[in-house]
A and B are shown apart, each in its own frame.
Chain A
Amino acid sequence: MKKLRESAGFQSVLASVLSILIGLLVGSIVIFIVGCTSKNLSPAVAWDGIRLVFGGLFSTGRDAAGALTWGFNPTNIGNMLFRATPLIMTGLSVAMAYKTGLFNIGAPGQYLIGTLASLMIALGVPSESVPPAIIWLLAFFGGMLAGAIWGAIPGMMKAFLNINEVLACIMTNWIAANLVTWMFDISNFKNVVESTKTGYIYKTTFNNVATPKMGLDKLFPNSQVNGGILIAIVLAIGVYVMMSKTTFGYELKACGSNRHAARYAGIQDKRNIVLSMAIAGALSAAGASLYWLAGNTEFFWSTYQSLPGTGFNGIPVALLAACHPIGVIFTAIFMSMLDIAGLQLTNLTAYNEYITDVIISVIVYLSAFSLVIKMWLSSRKKKTEKTEGGSAK
Chain B
Amino acid sequence: MSETPYQEAQRAYEARIAAIGAEEMVINMGPQHPSTHGVLRLQLITDGELVKEVIPHVGYLHRCFEKHAESMNYGKTIPFTDRMDYLASMNNSHAFVMGVERMLGIEKQLPKRVEYIRVLVCELNRIASHLIAIGTYGIDIGAFTPFMWCFRDREHIMNMLEWASGSRMLYNYIWVGGLFYDLPVGFEARCAEFVQYFKPKLAELDELLTNNRIFVSRTANIGVLPADVAINYGCSGPMLRASGVKWDLRRVDDYSVYPELEFDIPIGEGEMGHVGDCWDRFKVRVEEIKESVRIIEQCLDRLTKALKRTADFDPRALVPKKVNLKAQDYYVRAENPKGELGFYFVTQEKTDIPKRVKARGPSFHNLSVLPELAKGVLIADLIAILGSIDIVLGEVDR
Q: Do A and B bind each other?
A: no
